[in-house]
Amino acid sequence: MKSAVLVFPGINRERDMARAFREVTGVEPIMVWHTETELPDVDVVAVPGGFSYGDYLRCGAIAARSPIIPALRAHAAAGRHVLGVCNGFQILTETGLLPGALMRNASLRFVCKEVRLRVDNAATAFTSAYAPGQVIRCPIAHGEGNYFADPETLAELEGEGRVVFRYCDAEGRITEAANPNGAVDGIAGIVNAAGNVLGMMPHPENLIEALQGGLDGRGIFESLARAA
Amino acid sequence: MLKNDIAITPELIKAHGLKPDEYQRILDLIGREPTWTELGIFSAMWNEHCSYKSSKKWLKQLPTKGARVLIGPGENAGVVDIGDGQAVVFKMESHNHPSYIEPYQGATTGVGGILRDVFTMGARPIAAMNALRFGAPDHPKTRHIVAGVVAGVGGYGNSFGVPTVGGEVEFHPRYNGNCLVNAFAAGLLKTDEIFLSEAKGVGMPVVYLGSKTGRDGMGGATMASAEFDDDSHEKRPTVQVGDPFAEKLLLEASLELMASGAVIAIQDMGAAGLTCSAVEMGAKGNLGLTLNLDKVPTREPGMTAYEMMLSESQERMLMVLHPHLEEKAEAIFRKWGLDFAIVGETTDTLRFVVEHHGQVMADLPIKDLGDQAPEYDRPWVEPKRQPVLAAADVPAPQDYGRALLDLVGSPNQSSRRWVWEQYDHLIQGNTVQRPGGDAAVVRVERPNGGHAKGLAFTCDVTPRYVEADPYEGGKQAIAESWRNLSAVGALPIAVTDNLNFGNPERPEIIGQFVHALKGVGEACIALDMPIVSGNVSLYNETNGEAILPTPAIGAVGLMDDVTRTIGVALAADGDVLVLIGDTTGWLGQSSYLYELHGREEGAPPPVDLAAEKRHGDFVRAAVIDGRVTAAHDLSSGGLLVGVAEMAMAGAKGARLLLPETEVPLHAFLFGEDQARYVVTAAPEDASRLIVDAAMAGVPATAIGAVGGDSLTLGGLLTVSIDALSQRHESWMPNWMSAA
């Protein structure tokens, strides 16, 4: 599987993302600078985490207007895969490739910890390596991960099974205590209507080796490799 | 003769923090009255913060050399060889005064400054820590300062992209008027790619890089070289404003530029900004330097030479570049959207010349600015040492379970999760031991493959001990860092020290300083942990009350195989708990005495450095050989708190046996004797471990076994792990959310 990782000024988890692709698929991804206007011929484009443009104006808002974005749209429109993690998810909502918005955490504080996620749709190209309803561990590290969308959009997402990950407790229950940021209905990750663009706040790329404390994040990359 | 538009009056001299005899020294050096700009330059170079004029005499006596030390104190950060052509670069630095005045910005720029020190050497930052000390929890300003400082540390480090993996947070009324924010950063580089600040070659371009210069942080270093009073909040304009986004760009651009081969010398603009960086580069290289301020990128029009020379605007660098690679260098900086301007050149005159609007604003002997800074041998007195406190003079608890709950739920023993969850400690994907244990461990990949190494990091000092006996307290700070690194399986290799004290013009403060440094130095020699970098912060006083003497230590350890590390969490039912080290029941200055009885009495526990070495080497070997399943250093709170921490971390209970000892039980359980650890091992391994310990001259005793969901001690104590965790975890969030 061939992959590319977009790099905007202020992005800081591009190396983590690159390592995950390398470790799981054995192929080094191509790093693409934001001023490029064309993407290499790859199966997956990852939009990694960080603080693009220092989160100035609004998280992801400036990056969403970068020269590379039309090429990203074309990649998505062609049905190829796009994975947005953390700031990447924020950027994807700002481009309109994914619906909804990510607001300030309900606690008003940045939070970095390990949470549990329930895989609510294991039939996507990003999650086929997981079992439906499986509870996985995954780190989070964000200040603005509080997912929100209007009722119509939420109904659409739920009706089409597009909520892929939800924050849950060890038993897979969606509770307030297990929700680290106040996201509506515990939503941690969603796909677009075509199912080829995933945005998620947690960082699967930081849990792919035993040394990091677990392998639960590998499934995303294994699924993508399988889909390619 | 340079002419002066502004009269140099005694008031103006005083406002620059210069004493009359220091001003006379300036007149003698340059043979004329300085210009206003020159006066500003001298004040920036000669303040305590930059010149170390009160501390230099004593710092020179610290051990700074070792087989692994590539670069010791004097550069931006120390550099220590870790094999495979790799080196770790690290330093710790204070940002106390600014953080008290403006907590968020003070803390962010403290973190930014230390990160810059590390990547200026050519290293990519891989870990950060913070040693934070605040006033009493019930002081009206404390909560506000904690919230601002923690948010500031996180706000900068998270955005910059370095994992903040460890640190300390403590409360004590003696920090009511002066919080301490000591920021540590470490980076990794190749030993043949170290960059220094020494300029080389005449006529080389001096290049300004990074953010624009504004009027923020004017005179910050001078501000940090004076005591506070009730009007200190009026000093807010001296605090800089941080922009981690600009710093991240500066990091990437600087490392790319260094890799391009264009850089001859590099110095970040930290304290005293353009002045300090330019003088240092020239003076170190035995060269003069001329700056043309018309070329300096400024944030606002109309800035004077004086303002530009003293601005402490953040995220700026000064470099000397190879002339033929200027264009390549500029392209790299433009790519990252940063300012790039040739602002001067090196000369053979040994003069520091500053020009602005075609006028010479300063013309000074460059070497003398640093070399001829005043150096004081301040008078000092022997510190008063507290007498030893007998265990019999400390009441035993009526209810041991309640005492333990109160202790693990006290301000200084409770969990710091509320703090470190606001720091991204996982970014870069190399964090092997996360915050909350004895030391953080970060993976380091070898350049040519093979199994990964590890670097371990810890911050330590017990200021109450240092106050009661500066010499023993100084030793203890190093010993505790040695234990924390050894407990995770790392060999301690070097330290950085951040020496926070009160007003050096008071003999009792210098007395503390002298003795604490003597203790630190002796321990560093005994444990082979040279000091490779550091920072001194004096004048931590408000209205005449000094902070507790706080020589904060940042220590670094090395592991050949990072997978061998273990943590503090109890791992398996049936494992035997083994206490390593002697227990005399030392309650003087203990956490038990302070947190539960509100008493700060007695001598602190003495530190036997030979025992520390023996016990630490034994425990480290046991960890590396896989003979133990968990290991924990015992420090504040003593044995019972240590075991409770292991139980909470592993969510497993433990059954402790009543000790067979003449030591009173409360002293045995809560005493803070040094050179001790608790380790766990499977029963057959534990027996062998105890035998081997005896052979190695290391006291080791089985004290109980892992199991159940409570911590029990004979029939005396039964506390559920849930109850312990609840108390341990709740103090800080509850306190922060209380109105």
> Hey, is the C-beta of A113 within 8 angstroms of any chain B C-beta?
yes
Identity of the amino acid at B623? V
Of A20, A54, A143, the CB nearest to B245: A54
Question: Nearest residue on chain A to B335, judged by CA atoms?
Answer: A35
Q: What is the pLDDT of residue B241?
A: 85
> Quick one: pLDDT at residue B236?
59
Instruction: State the Cα–Cα distance between residues B607 and B466, nearest whole angstrom.
Output: 12
Per-window interface: A 53-82 vs B, CB < 8 A: 53-56
Whether B54 has a binding-site annotation, put simply, is no
All residues of chain A having their beta carbon less than 8 Å from the beta carbon of residue B244 are 51, 54
pLDDT at B586: 98
Summarize pLDDT for B201-240 with one digit per residue, the tens. Answer: 999 999 999 999 998 877 666 666 667 776 665 665 667 8
What is the DSSP code string of B161-184?
Answer: T--EEEEEEEE-GGGSS--EEEEE
Nearest CA-CA partner of B150 in B125, B179, B119: B179
B158, B161, B562: residue with CB nearest A110: B158
- Of the residues A86, A142, A144, A168, only one is catalytic, namely A86
Q: Which chain A residues have a beta carbon less than 8 Å from that of B248?
A: 9-10, 12, 51
- Of B520, B536, B564, the residue at which a domain comes to its end is B564
Written as six digits, the tokens of B381 are 């007195």
Task: Provide, as residue numbers in chain A, all residues whose Cβ is less than 8 Å from the Cβ of B154.
Answer: 110
* Residue B537 known to bind ligand: yes
What is the pLDDT averaged over residues A10-17? 98
Closest alpha carbon within chain B to A56: B245
CB B424 within 8 A of CB B431: no
- Min Cα–Cα distance to chain A from B276, Å: 28
B91 is in an annotated binding site: yes
Residue A44 predicted with pLDDT over 80:
yes
B114 with B10, same domain? no
B497 is in an annotated binding site: yes
Residue B223: the pLDDT is: 62
Chain B residue numbers with beta carbons less than 8 Å from the beta carbon of A208 are: 429
The domain that holds B625 is classified in CATH as 3.90.650.10
- Nearest Cα neighbor of A21 from A204, A214, A212 is A204
Residue stretches of chain B with pLDDT short of 50:
none
B28 and B83 share one domain = no
Distance (Å) from the C-alpha of residue B735 to the closest C-alpha of chain A?
Answer: 15
Cα–Cα distance list, B397 to B400, B403, B595, B596, B597 (Å): 6, 6, 13, 9, 10
* Pair (B148, B23) in one structural domain: no
Q: Which of A19, A109, A141 sits opposite B424 (nearest CB)?
A: A141
Amino acid identity of residue B4, one-letter, is: N
What residues in A contact B159, CB-CB < 8 Å?
A: 10, 12, 50-51, 54-55
Residue B6 and residue B4: Cα distance in Å, rounded?
Answer: 5
User: Is residue A139 within 8 angstroms of chain B, CB to CB?
Assistant: yes
Last residue of a domain, one of B542, B564, B586: B564
- Tell me whether residue B96 is annotated as binding: yes
Q: How many CB pairs under 8 A join A and B?
A: 82
In contact, B262 and B197? CB cutoff 8 Å: no
The pLDDT assigned to B372 comes to 85
Same domain, B246 and B180: no
Q: Is B94 annotated for ligand binding?
A: yes
pLDDT at A126 over 70: yes
* Per-chain mean pLDDT for chain B: 95
> Binding site annotation covers B573?
no
Spacing of C-alpha B331 from chain mean position:
36
d(CA B442, CA B559) in angstroms, rounded, equals: 10
The yes-or-no answer on residue B632 being catalytic is no
Option in A10, A141, A143 nearest B426 (CB): A141
Pairing mode, strands A44-47 and B710-713: unpaired
Instruction: Tell whether B100 and B124 lie within a shared domain.
Output: yes
Distances (CA, A) of A216 to A38, A177, A212, B381: 33, 21, 10, 60
Q: What is the pLDDT of residues A60-101, one digit of tens each?
A: 999 999 999 999 999 999 999 999 999 999 999 999 999 999
> Could you tell me the CA-to-CA distances from B344 to A135, B204, B288, B319, B361 in Å, in that order?
61, 8, 11, 10, 14
Q: Which of A75, A81, A142, A203 is catalytic?
A: A203
Q: Which residues pair with B208 in a beta bridge?
A: B318, B341
Give B143→chain A minimum CA distance, Å: 15
Chain A residues touching residue B427 (CB < 8 angstroms) = 12-13, 16, 141, 206
DSSP-derived 3-state class of residue B358:
coil
Residue A34: active-site member: no
Query: Looking at the 3D structure of chain B, how many domains does it have?
Result: 3
Helix and strand numbers, DSSP H then E, in chain B: 26, 28
**Domain assignment present for B615:** yes
**Whether residue B160 is found in the same domain as residue B226:** no
Contact B449, B526 (CB under 8 A): no
- Of B159, B452, B562, nearest to A54 by CB-CB distance is B159
The ipTM assigned to this model is 0.97
Do B108 and B157 lie in one domain? The reply is: yes
CA nearest A212: which of B436, B650, B186, B428?
Answer: B428
- Which residues in chain A are closer than 8 Å to B452, comparing Cβ atoms? 211
Query: Are residues B101 and B152 located together in one domain of the fold?
Result: yes
Interface probe, candidates B104, B111, B156, B158, chain A, greatest A C-beta count within 10 A: B158
SS3 B13: helix
Nearest to B597 by CA among B734, B393, B414: B393
Domain range spanning residue B163? 65-194+419-564
| Residue of chain B with shortest Cα separation from A211 | B432
**Same domain (yes/no): B160, B225:** no
pLDDT at B47: 87
Say if residue B519 is in the same domain as residue B655. Answer: no
Beta carbons of A130 and A119 less than 8 angstroms apart: yes
Same-domain check for residues B429 and B463: yes
Final residue in a domain of this structure, among B539, B564, B589: B564
B632/B438 Cα distance (integer angstroms) = 7
CB distance B172 to B136 below 8 Å? yes
**CA of B733: which chain A residue's CA is closest?**
A107
Residue B412 counted as domain residue: no
Question: CATH second-level architecture of A3-227?
Answer: 3-Layer(aba) Sandwich (3.40)
User: Do both B227 and B362 map to the same domain?
Assistant: yes
Largest CA distance in chain B: 87
Task: Please give the backbone phi and psi of residue B732, each rounded to the nearest 5 degrees, phi first.
Answer: -65, -50
Q: Name residues 154-213 of chain A within 8 A of B (Cβ).
A: 203, 205-206, 208-209, 211-213
Contact B426 A51 (CB under 8 A): no
Check if B651 contacts A (Cβ < 8 Å): no
Task: Name the residue among A15, A51, A208 with its Cβ closest to that of B159.
Answer: A51
**Cβ–Cβ of A112/B423 closer than 8 Å?**
yes
Residue B397, domain member (yes or no) = no
For the four alpha carbons of B91, B96, B102 and B104, in that order, the dihedral sign comes to positive
A50 vs B contacts (CB less than 8 Å)? 159, 161
